[in-house]
Amino acid sequence: MRKFVLKSMIAVTLLTGVTETITYINTPTVEAKTLSKKKVKKVNKALKKALKEDQGFANGTLDENGKPTENGTPNPKFDYATYVNSLKYQSSGAVKVQMNDKLTSLNTAQMDEIAHNIQGLVDSTLMIEEVITPEDTTKGVYLNFYYGQRAIGHSKLSDHKEFKWYTN
């Protein structure tokens, strides 16, 4: 059962001196569903398959129909997938994105572009697996980005299609 937090704020208008109470309900756009272990395993298998397919398109090892080929042409549209080692759906409803060494040469804008493409892959896969609805894709699925054991970024809470990167 999902709990909703009811919050009240008191806003004071400095110019008029009027005090106003604003009440709002903090509700998530995409609710984390409680999935069985079997369903989580199925979802993770689907994410792995979708990522592997996009990596095949990027490297030219799959043709446009997803069939293996030895002399295919790499498709730069799917290059984002070559920066990702794995995707894992977590019980919280977030997806853990394990990045690889290629990311070390990227700037923040390039990381944002790759993250948007990952978001699209995750959203479409979770929608096909009936974990989220088409309406849920408007906000997107929350993503956590890792490089090895180190967290390197995450989706913003206010909009899961915007990202916060930890830069030193």
pLDDT: which is higher, 134 or 168: 134
- Does the pLDDT of residue 14 top 90, yes or no? no
pLDDT at 139: 86
Q: Indicate whether this model's pTM tops 0.85.
A: no
| Percentage, residues of the chain above pLDDT 90 | 58
pLDDT: which is higher, 51 or 23: 51
- Does the pLDDT of residue 32 top 80, yes or no? no
Residue 141 pLDDT grade (very low, low, confident, very high; cuts 50, 70, 90): very high
- pLDDT tens, residue by residue, 41-68: 999 999 999 999 999 999 999 888 888 8
3-state secondary structure the chain: CCCCEEEEEEEECCCCCCEEEEEEEECCCCCCCCCCHHHHHHHHHHHHHHHHHHHHHHHCCECCCCCECCCCCCCHHHHHHHHEEEEEECCCCCEEEEECHHHHHCCHHHHHHHHHHHHHHHHHHHHHCCCCCHHHHHCCCCEEEEECCEEEEEECCCCCCCEEECCC
Mean pLDDT score, 24-47: 70
Residue 160 CA to residue 140 CA, distance in Å, equals 5
Mean pLDDT score, 65-90: 91
Closest CA to 59 of 86, 45, 44, 80: 80
Mean pLDDT score, 27-54: 81
Phi, psi angle pair for 111, to nearest 5°? -65, -40
Structure tokens of 168? Answer: 């030193």
CA angle centred on 54, ends 83 and 149, rounded to 5°: 30
